[in-house]
Structures are given as C-alpha cells and as structure tokens.
Amino acid sequence: QVQLQESGPGLVKPSETLSLTCAVSGYSISSGYYWAWIRQPPGKGLEWIATIYHSGSTYYNLSLKSRVTLSVDTSKNQFSLNLSSVTAADTAVYYCARHNMRGSGWTQFDNWGQGTLVTVSS
C-alpha cells in the first residue's frame, strides 16, 4: 500500500522560500512512476505545480516555473519542493501525489498525501 506524507514548516515569511518534503512508503521511487506537487488555496480549486521522475527529469507549470525547484532523494525515498519568493498568494494546502505517463500524455493522480497547510505571513 503506497503512502505519501508531506512535511515542512507551516508558516513562511513573505519573500522567503517554502520548502516541503514528501516521504513515500510502500513503494520505491526508483521503481518508476512520476511524483507531483499540487496545491489548493483555502476554499479554492486545485493547481498542479510540478512533477519529477527518479532520474531527476522535471516538468513544471510554466506559471510557477521561475520560482520552483524540485529534487528527489532515492536513498531516503522522498522528493522535495522549494518555492522561492513567496507571497500571501502562495498560502495553500500543498499535496504530493503519484502519477505516470501514458502514451503522449499522463495518467491520473492515483495516490495522494494528506496535505499540509502552508501559510505565508510575517
């Protein structure tokens, strides 16, 4: 049974960098699949941020690409998100999730973490 668990500070100051980690259990990241970050501002909809493969290949939402850095640590079976120069608009619940490639596109997000609320405030 695959489980994903986000961790990181719940409060970040404006202009600083938001850093989150997603620990994966029950499945080896190195075995395949792609690993994503998705966020949801309070009371609003879902926004895909970016995806990483265990090889380090990355895919970004261009609206955030200039501020996003993804990394993967296969030895710890986890992957991470850094979002720089945050503002109040980055306040959201951040989810990590698993998906895959299919044909010329992608598959569904079939496993999600529980989410972690990050508030940007001084």
Partner 1 sequence: DIQMTQSPSSLSASVGDRVTITCRASQSTSNYLHWYQQKPGKAPKLLIYAASSLQSGVPSRFSGSGSGTDFTLTISSLQPEDFATYYCQQSYSTPLTFGGGTKVEIK
Does 59 interact with partner 1 (rule: CB under 8 A)?
yes
- Which one of residues 15, 25, 114, 119 is an interface residue with partner 1 (CB under 8 A)? 114
Considering the complex, state which of residue 65 and residue 76 has its C-beta at the smaller distance from partner 1.
65
- Which range touches partner 1 (CB under 8 A), out of 13-21, 22-30, 59-67, 68-76? 59-67
Q: Which residue has 């395949």 as its token pair?
A: 32
DSSP-derived secondary structure for the chain? --EEEEES-SEE-TTS-EEEEEEEESS-GGGS-EEEEEEE-TTS--EEEEEEETTS-EEE-TTTGGGEEEEEETTTTEEEEEE-S--GGG-EEEEEEEE-EETTEE----EE---EEEEE--
Task: Please give the Cα distance from 51 to 42 (Å, whole number).
Answer: 22
Does 107 interact with partner 1 (rule: CB under 8 A)?
yes
- Which range touches partner 1 (CB under 8 A), out of 10-18, 24-32, 56-64, 71-79? 56-64
Size of the residue set binding partner 1 (CB under 8 A)? 23
CB of 102 to partner 1, least distance (A): 8
> Restricting to residues 9-38, which ones interact with partner 1 according to CB under 8 A?
36
- In DSSP terms, 7 is beta-bridged to 21
Q: Give me the residues that bind partner 1 (CB under 8 A), please.
A: 36, 45-48, 59-63, 95, 99, 102, 105-110, 112-115
